[in-house]
């Protein structure tokens, strides 16, 4: 299945483009996609999410309001990735 990933801020700078498409297996989670993007982007995305340095939305909703990294994805889902708006 395919998941669309929209990038913003420093994540976009690392990606070099606004939109990425990731192919993942059925039952994939947010953690699966973040882990698969880490080598490409050179950013430890799971670690950044756990430190609150990365905001992840699934179809416009913050994944922290769902199951966080364990939120399951459906084919055609749209993830948005950005750094926190106000660095500490």
Q: What is the pLDDT of residues 11-62, one digit of tens each?
A: 999 999 999 999 999 999 999 999 999 999 999 999 999 999 999 999 999 9
Q: What is the pTM of this model?
A: 0.91
> What span, in angstroms and rounded, lies between the C-alpha atoms of 3 and 85?
24
- Residues 27-38: tens digit of each pLDDT: 999 999 999 999
The secondary structure of residue 63, as a DSSP letter, is G
Give exposure, 38-69, as e/b (b: 16+ Cβ within 10 Å). eeebebebbebbeeebbbbbbeeeebeeeeeb
**Structural domains present in the chain:** 2-83 (3.10.20.30)
């Amino acid at each position: 299945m395919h998941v669309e990933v929209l990038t913003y801020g420093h994540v976009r700078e690392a990606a070099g483009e606004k939109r990425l498409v990731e192919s993942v297996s059925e039952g994939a989670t947010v953690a699966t996609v973040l882990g698969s993007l880490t080598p490409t982007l050179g950013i430890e995305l799971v670690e950044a999410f756990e430190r609150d340095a990365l905001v992840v939305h699934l179809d416009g909703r913050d994944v922290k309001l769902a199951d966080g990294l364990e939120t399951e994805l459906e084919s055609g889902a749209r993830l948005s990735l950005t750094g926190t708006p106000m660095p500490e």
